Structure 1
Amino acid sequence: MADERSASVFFFAPFVSSTMAIEPAWIDYNGHLNLAYYHVLFDRAVDEAYGIVGLGPDYTEAGRGTTFAAEVHVRYRRELILDDPVRVTLQLVGFDEKRLHLYSEIRHATDGWVAATSENLSLHVDPATRRVAPFPDDILANLDVMMGSHARLPRPEDLGRVIGIPSRRPLHKPGSGALAAAGGVRIRH
């Protein structure tokens, strides 16, 4: 098979993408990288890592499978501007026969600071049925090698974060707060 790979694939821990440039069209009216393009940078890095694992374009074109994003959590930590070169680090956190759990960081390529983090759950999909399907054995073997390398990395601090508003007082509840105090209209069910 043309896309067949040996389980002796080598993985850096973490995987580090090629250096990427911020494109002028990606800069928004605030003068920094628009939030949508952080996802583009993460996605390009995932494509590079997938190519090493054997999940690249040839794999999909051969009809063996593809991946779909099931869940993504991005945390924006520092703004990027037009002249900032970036690299993305990627860590395989876990996998099973049908899913990949990945953690990535966009880093300034020369200064090393973290601009954003992304935690992703991806599903392996049969392109003919568009349904979740098991990875083939050769891909599982490559993922196992990658996991062995990445398992030595520390658990990322941002992994498993929950979105919320830290506060000493209870969260705003309908019918309370400024609207109620100002005599706002309340709809009763």
Structure 2
Amino acid sequence: MPRHAQLPAYQDIVRAEWVDYNGHLRDAFYMLIFSFATDALIDAIGLDDSVRKARGRSIYTLEAHINYLHEIKEGAKVQVQMRVLAHDAKRMHLYLEMFADDRDEPVAAGEQMLLHVDTSGPRAAVFDDDVAARVRALVDAQASLPAAGFAGRVIGLPRPTRT
């Protein structure tokens, strides 16, 4: 994903308490940063805290995948850029890339399947019209971007061959 694209973004700094015994950002904190970025996207599509409370709506994460591409250390300035790869009436397939300092290549990439919910159930709910319109507008604005480089990867080992 080009860093210069006008995409929803989140910025943070790798904190000392997020660093492991190797001096690198601990694997769980990549997800934490992606989670904070997802919160920023949720706000950007019109589901900020006040709207979530007033409407009894929220977003739940159904599935998440992370590709750890490069190590980063305490104090690194990170930026997460996001795009919606696909959506339907209740779900969004979100793609995220994390950049550190002045690197042009991502240090991590992630995908999340998000579900819009009515919190009184909780149960899946169709996006409200205004939110659905913002999601569509975001997808349309990102339509000309190149393919998401690390999307759709499957984890697994090759099956052993029988001899």
Structure 2 length-normalised TM? 0.90
The corresponding residue for 1:115 is 107
1:101 equivalenced with 2:90 (yes/no): no
C-alpha contact (below 8 Å) 1:69/1:122 kept by paired residues: yes
CA displacement, residues 146-169 of structure 1 (integer Å, 9 cap, x when unaligned): 110012111112111111235xxx
1:60 equivalenced with 2:52 (yes/no): yes
Structure 1 residue 38: Cα displacement: 0.3
Structure 1 residue 63: Cα displacement: 3.2
Distance 2:24 2:160 in 1: 31
Pick one of 8, 12, 21 that aligns with 1:29: 21
Distance 2:143 2:161 in 1: 41
Structure 1 length-normalised TM? 0.78
Distance 1:146 1:68 in 2: 19
> Residue type of the partner of 1:109?
D
Correspondence list, 1:11-160, <5 A: 13-17=6-10, 19-160=11-152
Distance 2:144 2:112 in 1: 19
Kindly, what percent of the aligned residue pairs are identical? Answer: 31
Q: Which aligned runs of 4 or more in structure 1 are off by greater than 3 angstroms?
A: none
> Residue type of the partner of 1:48?
A
- Tell me the SS of whatever aligns to 2:82: strand
C-alpha contact (below 8 Å) 2:42/2:59 kept by paired residues: no
Long gaps (5+) in structure 2:
none
C-alpha contact (below 8 Å) 1:13/1:153 kept by paired residues: no
Structure 1 residue 172: Cα displacement: 8.4
Distance 1:116 1:159 in 2: 12
The corresponding residue for 2:160 is 171
Long gaps (5+) in structure 1:
1-11, 174-189
Query: Rg bigger for which structure?
Result: 1
Structure 1 residue 33: Cα displacement: 0.7
CA displacement, residues 62-116 of structure 1 (integer Å, 9 cap, x when unaligned): 1331011111111100011002110001011111110000000110132233111
Distance 2:161 2:16 in 1: 40
Equivalent residues, number? 158
